[in-house]
A = this chain, B = another copy of it.
Amino acid sequence: MLDKFRDECGVFGIFGHPEAANLSYLGLYALQHRGQESCGIVSSDGHKLRTHKGMGLVADVFKNDAVFQDLPGSSAIGHVRYSTAGGNDLKNAQPIVVDYARGSIAVAHNGNLVNAQEVRNDLETRGSIFSTTADTEVIIHLLAHARSDSLIDRVTEALQIVKGAYSLVFLTETRMVAVRDPHGFRPLILGKLDGAYIVASETCALDLIEAEFIREIEPGEMILVDKSGLKSFRPFAKVPTAACIFELIYFARPDSRIFGHQVYSVRKEFGRQLAREHGVEADVVIPIPDSGTPAAIGYAEETGIPFQLGLIRNHYVGRTFIEPQQSIRHFGVKIKLNPVRDEIEGKRVVVIDDSIVRGTTARKIIKMIRNAGAREIHMRISSPPTSFPCYYGIDTPTRKELISSSHTVEEINRYITADTLGYLSQEGMLKAAGACLGEEGKFCHACFSGQYPVKFPRLKSDSQLGLF
């Protein structure tokens, strides 16, 4: 799928391994799809935290081997981030590292707090200063103000004040703490390598470094790792789980397992269910690569229509939201995709994508397929219409930009110029992911249903919310 949602972040942590920084680098490399604009690693040698952060891809920020000599120690945490504002936003790069009364602490955060501004206002009134615009800094301040004696209690004290989505990894000189918010919006995985504990946003980070997958950190669980080993805590009141279903639809890598699912297989099942709901007579099923591919395979399997790679992706284009140069902008999707004419010409084509945001890209692709000689084009989307913005860590377009928030499927189809258009139903989506609509818990599907599991203040300044 092209030009769509932006992953917010990926986190990684490792405790007790002589190559902590190097393995964090590799872990972040595997999580690169979760954030491409900045990244960083903080290591501890037991006495002192050291940081290297920068704007850009992991392979670029850490391209100089010397960097790793400046990150000694056997524990480290890392972060990849999509920064929402342009320009020099290095100050918002994570992990954030600070000194406070108990020493130094670093934090890496995936998610979004819905009451960050309120808490920030309170803290400022008490004399706190803020160096970044990230909601994560609020957590650090709360931690510094916490009065409990133990680190776990202080983290708990701080997190009891904030609301929203967070998968967090903290590093102090001598300890690592990982927490997943009570709803479990974002994934967080526990693994092990050579006796060292590892946490990561997705299992693909474990795979790359050949670490063993232990289990997922559970919603509301807090893990403390220090030299005496790993301890698990449950400091929060139990609430229904609300795992972000969009991770399964689009964000996570298909080779990852999160929320108890192999992502690839769920996507394929979305495609199968889509076929059951919106079957059509056709000659070929083609995906919009690469995000539409597993669903297209599922659709083809269910219908028996042959699957073909009818659109070839240019390997030299980065992920879709990395814009090409000014001068070639008007070439739009052509710079990224090109049809295989022989597989399309004269045929009835089912085109599978995982979602439609503004509709402009889908429209261009359909035109491209039409020009390649398709007789009929049936667009099928392996998720329901995305009508509501996310407040839990996904940088969705505003409602104004989401074509589904103001147009019917019929209208959208007219705009994108397909012969027919079918979306996966909410029920079908949840069923394919092993859950039921109406049932409490398991998934957050607010972006489709508008049912937000955690309430949030109506901020005047936020144009997204102005629509409600």
Question: Which A residues lie at the B interface, using CB under 8 A?
Answer: 22, 25-26, 29-30, 32-33, 51-53, 57-59, 62-63, 65, 68, 70, 87-88, 90-91, 96-101, 124-131, 140-141, 144-145, 204, 207-210, 253-255, 257, 262, 264-265, 268, 290, 293-294, 297, 301, 306-309, 312, 314-316, 318-319, 324-328, 331, 334-335, 338-343
The 8 Å CB contact of A208, one of B128, B255, B327, B334, is: B334
Known: A30-B314, A210-B334, A301-B306. A340 touches B254 (CB 8 A): yes
Q: Contact check, A309 vs B264: say whether CB atoms are below 8 A apart.
A: yes
Main secondary structure of the interface of A (DSSP, over half): mixed
Inter-chain contacts of A101 with B (CB < 8 A)? 124-125, 127
Please name 20 further chain A to chain B contacts, defined as beta carbons within 8 Å, in addition to the given A100-B128, A297-B308, A307-B307, sorted by A numbering: A22-B327, A30-B314, A33-B315, A52-B88, A59-B324, A62-B325, A63-B325, A70-B87, A100-B124, A101-B124, A101-B127, A127-B141, A128-B144, A131-B131, A207-B339, A208-B335, A209-B331, A253-B312, A254-B312, A290-B315
Q: A71: shortest Cβ distance to chain B, in Å? A: 10
Q: A358: shortest Cβ distance to chain B, in Å? A: 22
Known: A290-B315, A338-B255. A100 touches B88 (CB 8 A): no
Using CB atoms, name the residue of chain B closest to A213: B341
Q: A101: shortest Cβ distance to chain B, in Å? A: 4
Q: A337: shortest Cβ distance to chain B, in Å? A: 9
Using CB atoms, name the residue of chain B closest to A313: B290
Report which residue of A51, A62, A91, A101 has the largest number of chain B beta carbons within 10 angstroms of its beta carbon: A101
A48 to B206, CA, bound (A): 43
Q: A109: shortest Cβ distance to chain B, in Å? A: 15
Inter-chain contacts of A124 with B (CB < 8 A)? 99-101, 144
Report which residue of A124, A209, A318 has the largest number of chain B beta carbons within 10 angstroms of its beta carbon: A124
Inter-chain contacts of A297 with B (CB < 8 A)? 307-309
Inter-chain contacts of A52 with B (CB < 8 A)? 88
A334 to B27, CA, bound (A): 12
A52 to B86, CA, bound (A): 13
Q: A253: shortest Cβ distance to chain B, in Å? A: 6
Q: Contact check, B141 vs A255: say whether CB atoms are below 8 A apart.
A: no
Q: A361: shortest Cβ distance to chain B, in Å? A: 17
Inter-chain contacts of A331 with B (CB < 8 A)? 26, 208-209
- Those 10 A-B pairs whose CB atoms lie nearest each other, nearest first: A262-B342, A127-B145, A101-B124, A255-B312, A98-B129, A99-B130, A255-B338, A264-B340, A129-B144, A100-B129
Inter-chain contacts of A126 with B (CB < 8 A)? 127
Q: A461: shortest Cβ distance to chain B, in Å? A: 13
Using CB atoms, name the residue of chain B closest to A334: B208
The 8 Å CB contact of A316, one of B59, B90, B129, B326, is: B59
A340 to B294, CA, bound (A): 11
Inter-chain contacts of A129 with B (CB < 8 A)? 98-100, 128, 140-141, 144
Inter-chain contacts of A253 with B (CB < 8 A)? 312, 338
A208 to B90, CA, bound (A): 31
Can you list 27 pairs linking A and B with CB atoms under 8 Å apart? A22-B327, A25-B328, A26-B331, A29-B316, A29-B335, A30-B338, A51-B88, A57-B316, A59-B324, A63-B325, A65-B327, A98-B130, A100-B127, A100-B129, A100-B130, A101-B124, A101-B125, A127-B141, A128-B128, A128-B144, A129-B141, A207-B339, A210-B334, A257-B341, A264-B309, A264-B340, A315-B318
Q: A330: shortest Cβ distance to chain B, in Å? A: 11
Q: Contact check, A59 vs B264: say whether CB atoms are below 8 A apart.
A: no
A96 to B91, CA, bound (A): 11
A301 to B209, CA, bound (A): 35
Q: Contact check, A309 vs B254: say whether CB atoms are below 8 A apart.
A: yes
Q: A453: shortest Cβ distance to chain B, in Å? A: 28
The 8 Å CB contact of A207, one of B127, B315, B334, is: B334
Q: Contact check, B309 vs A29: say whether CB atoms are below 8 A apart.
A: no
Inter-chain contacts of A210 with B (CB < 8 A)? 334
Q: A53: shortest Cβ distance to chain B, in Å? A: 8
Q: Contact check, A265 vs B343: say whether CB atoms are below 8 A apart.
A: yes
Inter-chain contacts of A204 with B (CB < 8 A)? 312, 338
Q: A340: shortest Cβ distance to chain B, in Å? A: 4
A65 to B328, CA, bound (A): 10
